[in-house]
Amino acid sequence: MFQNSEIPAVGVADLDDELLAEAFVLDVREPDEWNRGHIEGATHIPLGQLQERVGEVPLDQKVLCVCAVGGRSSMATQFLASQGRDAVNFEGGMQAWEAASRPVSLD
């Protein structure tokens, strides 16, 4: 739906435990969305704060950007790539994650 061929992306079917274990999972949703559930171990930086907090995102690790359906995370992926990060968009976002019955953390 939001896929741009120039933005690296991965869908829920291709998101295996190995990639999740290796990646820095960055959730760019708003706090109320985050509080309703997120991927365990994810880091929360709302998209509107990403520019000022980009230093919190590692340079030496793949970054998996997540939002509700993939739009905001696509923007985050583009921005992070422009800042030298190896970023990939999680296509379908938390909506696809939950539809695939993947675990949601409320911590």
HSE at residue 14, side-chain half, CA atoms within 13 A, is 11
Classify 5 as helix, strand or coil. Answer: coil
The owner of tokens 């030496």 is 60
65 part of the active site = no
Catalytic residue among 42, 67, 80, 88, which? 67
d(Cα 24, Cα 101) in Å, to the nearest integer? 21
Name the residues annotated as catalytic: 67
